[in-house]
A = this chain, B = another copy of it.
Amino acid sequence: MGVTLKDVARLAGVSAKTVSNVVNGCPGVSDALRRRVRDAIGQLGYRPHLAARHLRTGRTGLLALVVDTPHLDEVARAILRAAAQRGHRVVVAPRGPARGVTAAWRDVPADGILLGTNAPPRDVLDAEVTAGTPLVLLGEGRDDRCDRVGVDMVRAARDATAHLLALGRRRIAAIGADPGPSRSRTAGYRQALRRAGIDAPAAYVRATARPERTDGYHAARSLLAHDPPPDAIFCYSDPLAVGAIRAATDAGLRVPDDVAVIGFGGTEEGRYVRPSLSTVVPDAEVIARAAVTRIVARIACPDLPPAEIVAPHTVLPRESAPAPPGGSRPASPRESAPELPGGTVRACPRGSVPHRETAPHTPRAGDGAAAAGGPRVPA
């Protein structure tokens, strides 16, 4: 407590500037001096005072991550890994109370925010945008003025629903959080049904207050008491689906025979429930890499035109909604990614029209294994 740059400078017999240069790895310091300064730093146990640096430069060197919705849990984990790997420090900002979402993260000192909340309220977003906060959206929310990295939610929901249709289900229900935030998933769900010539009763779409297990449990219980009961349920998050499975089996129904269930998020938990959970898997690694790259670029270059980066997703059939009999044919990353011209994030391009890009899907060893894992071998 209390060793300052000045102390180091005095001990090393140099000026503060030189110490600063050494600490920040700036060129223009002779090797001899550099060593002397390093020694002094080690000897005194000097650590730079982050707040002072922040006050001076306006930069904290921290990224804030806000994840509000369980379908992004795996994405959040991947972001933490990706950032650590590239030497970016991240703090996780707790989400605030429903409305005052802002409060929670406004006060964490960070250079930019990765916002994994569905439906950031309009006014909150406005405040951040006008304040000039570098912001990358991860959830459903979309805004012309902001970057977004994530899967094509409409298409992902359509694929999930199509998977249930391919199993021969016709009475397909949907359980999700508030209608507002989940708009695009509901749109995808409806698209798939429409294409199949099916008209779902209004009662088949259930909003829940939160996207948690208990909400899924209760929504499913009520849904299964409907006449006629659904023979399949698409849940907008894995926890919702876990609750739905429990509700169905508690009601004496067989999953998937009586009612198939599919979730959204690709969480580990789904592998272990019984029956194991079929789910839509966003490519968390791709999202994480793109999101970190993007927020860093945005911080460095605030005038970058807002971009939307679309990551691939996969439908992962497990026990609760297995691959259709005619041969397993889950949407591959290739198929599920929108057919748009690819591209990479360029630094500070001219122009300011929001553009849309497809994230490059760099396959890694283990990718397939991770996605394909059936219930039998939780690797």
Contact = CB atoms under 8 A, between A and B. Distances in A.
Interface string A262-282: 000000110111100000000
Given A1-B131, A107-B50, A246 B272 contact: yes
A26 interface: no
A52 B55 contact: yes
Contacts of A52: 51, 55
Interface stretch (A8-16, A91-99, A332-340, A343-351): A91-99
A241 to B, nearest CB: 10
Given A49-B55, A51-B55, A91 B89 contact: no
A214 interface: yes
Nearest to A93: B91
B271 A213 contact: yes
A242 interface: yes
Interface in A200-225: 212-214, 217
**Interface majority SS (helix, strand, loop, mixed), chain A:** mixed
Contact-residue bracket for chain A: 35 or more
B90 A246 contact: no
Contacts of A132: 1
B268 A249 contact: no
Contacts of A375: 246, 250
Contacts of A245: 272
A327 interface: no
Contacts of A217: 272, 378
A44 to B, nearest CB: 13
A60 interface: yes
Contacts of A330: none
Contacts of A49: 55
Contacts of A242: 269, 272
A107 B89 contact: yes
B109 A51 contact: yes
A243 B214 contact: no
A54 interface: yes
A62 interface: yes
A108 interface: yes
A78 B244 CA distance: 25
A84 interface: yes
A375 B213 CA distance: 13
Contacts of A23: none
A122 interface: no
A375 B243 CA distance: 11
A364 interface: no
A209 to B, nearest CB: 14
Given A50-B109, A62-B108, A379-B214, A92 B92 contact: yes
**A-B interface, 8 closest residue pairs, ranked by CB to CB distance from nearest:** A92-B92, A51-B54, A274-B274, A91-B91, A51-B55, A51-B51, A246-B272, A242-B272
10 contacts: A1-B132, A50-B107, A62-B107, A80-B94, A84-B96, A91-B91, A91-B108, A92-B93, A213-B378, A272-B273
